[in-house]
Structure 1
Amino acid sequence: IFVAIVLSFIGVLFGLVIFQMDFVVIMTMMGIISLAGIVVNNAIVLIDYTQLLIDRKKQEVGIGEEQLLTREQYREAIIAAGQNRLRPVLLTAITTILGLIPLAIGLNINFFSLFTEFDPQIYIGGDNTIFWGPMSWTIIFGLTFATFLTLVIVPTMFYLLNRAKIRFSDDKRLKESMKEAA
């Protein structure tokens, strides 16, 4: 799950370098902290559902909680979880990004004149862009990068971890059987 934080930080740095934006220390760091919460949530949604499918598969097969499934069963559960959680993760990221774009570009609407004179006096840029823009762009860059990599890297690492558990348990069983044979 912490890999998602690293991926988001890499996305922030890539975005700031590619678009040649300044690294405003306080607001960019606030954006990185906010971003960490968002991408960790996405990774938790994905891993939690994967673990739920694995537990269901163990009940279906009739094995205990401590016992392991086969590699193929783990792979099927991870793919099914990825397919089922793709939409919630993407929708969370897309709505967050679209919600931050007005803040990032400094979209200003005068609501007082909108309701009194029916003139919204819409303009882009302004004083708030200098302050809130870096934080918004940080979250946008990091979330864009981390969402797609979270959907690929996190399940892959989960599979590799479970594969290592299977290999370790197979090695342990082999050593125990060799001791019994001797």
Structure 2
Amino acid sequence: EWTSAKNRIELQGLMEEKLEQFPGLLLNFSQPIATRVDELLSGVKAQLAIKLFGPDLGVLASKGQALQKVVQGIDGTRDVAMEQIEGEAQLVVRPNRQQLSRYGLAVGDVMEVVRDGLGGRVAGQIINGNERYDIYVRLAKEFRDNPQTIADLRLQSPTGAWVRLGDVADITIESGPPQVRRDDVQRRVVIQANVQGRDMGSVVADIRKAIADQVDLPPGYSVDIGGQFENQQRAQKRLMIVVPLSIGLIALILYFAFHSVGQALLILVNLPLAMIGGIFALFLSGQYLSVPSSIGFITLFGVAVLNGVVMVEAINMRLESGREAVASAIYEGAISRLRPVLMTAIVAALGLIPMILSNGGGSEIQRPLATVIVGGLVTSTFLTLFVLPALFGWFSKGKIADMR
């Protein structure tokens, strides 16, 4: 049970308020599995990853901060933060070539002292059964724990003179990047963000427009938006192929079932009628067209076609008997199928109502799918009972002539 908040969003706000006083923290509120999926998609633990590519880390840092401010100003974005690309303490040894030439030393001599003295050199191996471990020898900790002691290290010149390392090189502790990240061999910095209260597509569109208007990127720098949005775009491209292919297969099956192009097209008239209800239901509920809702449309098309098949088959059976006029057969066939069509739609709609009312984990996927199906069933069923019988005679002229 919730003890300090009524729901997850309110608890998230309280946690954010307590944690934002600690500088340097990147706050991101998500679910365990969702976090893993987001990290696999884009390398960051957030829904959106705005990636800035470019050659210079300094420019990436300054432009990245500008992008972060722009994204924070977009309605619907939460937990906006830029990954850390500076602030790591690093020991930097810069050889002074002029001083080195005075003593006849090379840069490699300085680097060798630093490499062997600080990093260590392999002096042998320890064998433990089938396992082998290298033995590294390096300077004791008190001779390498600060720049001053490192500067006191000695190296010998070709003339035999001993020279302090600090006399031929500048040794400092500087702030640098903890890690240089790349995508497609290009350096990049990521601004991560979550989306709340709006659909991801419109948020990304606003982000792109704001970046184009407010951020001036130098030549050689570019912005790419990944994460769940990138995965959503890939899924929608697949659906652009799957949905027309599904409708084409349905039309082919209908033609083989009724041996009439007109009646196959008549049943397919149910599809735009069903889409009207699905789109209107999304609009009334304040939801948006997404991958789950697109899958809902595919399911809705199947139910709508089923209702049309039931209606057309009932009318055809009466016409084949030859005992009734065309108008009477259409009317009686529609009346006889009223109850089965209504029962199919009502049962399906009642079964999906709990998904529409859900607000727990996974509801962001269930609700759009169920909303589309229920809304589409309302208009599809109503219009199937009235529009389809009214258009039957016009679409079935050839079929009626063959049966007569």
> By the TM > 0.5 criterion, same fold?
yes
SS at 2:337 equivalent: helix
1:131 is aligned with what amino acid?
I
**Cα distance between partner residues in 2 of 1:15 and 1:99:** 17
Normalised by the length of structure 1, the TM-score is: 0.69
Deviations 1:26-56, CA, capped at 9 Å, x for gaps: 1011000000000100000000010011001
Q: Residues 20-39 of structure 1: matches in 2 within 5 Å? A: 20-23=286-289, 25-39=290-304
Q: Residues 116-135 of structure 1: matches in 2 within 5 Å? A: 125-135=359-369
Q: Cα offset for 1:135?
A: 0.2
User: Whose helix fraction is larger, Structure 1's or Structure 2's?
Assistant: 1
Q: How many residue pairs end up in the alignment?
A: 135
Q: Residues 162-181 of structure 1: matches in 2 within 5 Å? A: 162=396
SS at 1:126 equivalent: coil
Q: Residues 39-58 of structure 1: matches in 2 within 5 Å? A: 39-57=304-322
Misfit runs of 4+, over 6 Å: none
Q: Cα offset for 1:165?
A: 5.1
**Cα distance between partner residues in 2 of 1:5 and 1:159:** 19
What 5-or-longer segments of structure 1 have no aligned partner? 62-72, 107-124, 169-182
Q: Residues 87-106 of structure 1: matches in 2 within 5 Å? A: 87-106=339-358
- Aligned partner of 1:156 in structure 2 is 390
Q: Residues 61-100 of structure 1: matches in 2 within 5 Å? A: 73-100=325-352
Q: Cα offset for 1:148?
A: 0.2
**Cα distance between partner residues in 1 of 2:387 and 2:296:** 22
Deviations 1:122-177, CA, capped at 9 Å, x for gaps: xxx20121111100001000011111001111111112234x559x9xxxxxxxxx
Instruction: Return closer, same or farther for 1:161/1:131 CA change in 2, 3 Å cut-off.
Output: closer
**Cα distance between partner residues in 2 of 1:78 and 1:156:** 8
Q: Residues 7-18 of structure 1: matches in 2 within 5 Å? A: 7-18=273-284
Q: Share of identical aligned residues, percent?
A: 31
1:133 is aligned with what amino acid?
R
Matched, 1:144 2:396: no
**Cα distance between partner residues in 2 of 1:20 and 1:134:** 10
Q: Which has the higher contact order (CA 8 A, sep 6+)?
A: 1
Q: Cα offset for 1:10?
A: 1.3
What 5-or-longer segments of structure 2 have no aligned partner? 1-266
- Aligned partner of 1:172 in structure 2 is none
**Cα distance between partner residues in 2 of 1:35 and 1:41:** 10
2:306 is aligned with what amino acid?
N
**Cα distance between partner residues in 2 of 1:140 and 1:161:** 28
**Cα distance between partner residues in 1 of 2:370 and 2:284:** 16
RMSD: 2.0
Conservation of the 8 A alpha-carbon contact between 2:282 and 2:368: no
**Cα distance between partner residues in 2 of 1:54 and 1:128:** 49
From the CA coordinates, give the structure whose radius of gyration is larger: 2
Normalised by the length of structure 2, the TM-score is: 0.32
**Cα distance between partner residues in 2 of 1:78 and 1:3:** 17
User: Whose strand fraction is larger, Structure 1's or Structure 2's?
Assistant: 2
Matched, 1:5 2:282: no
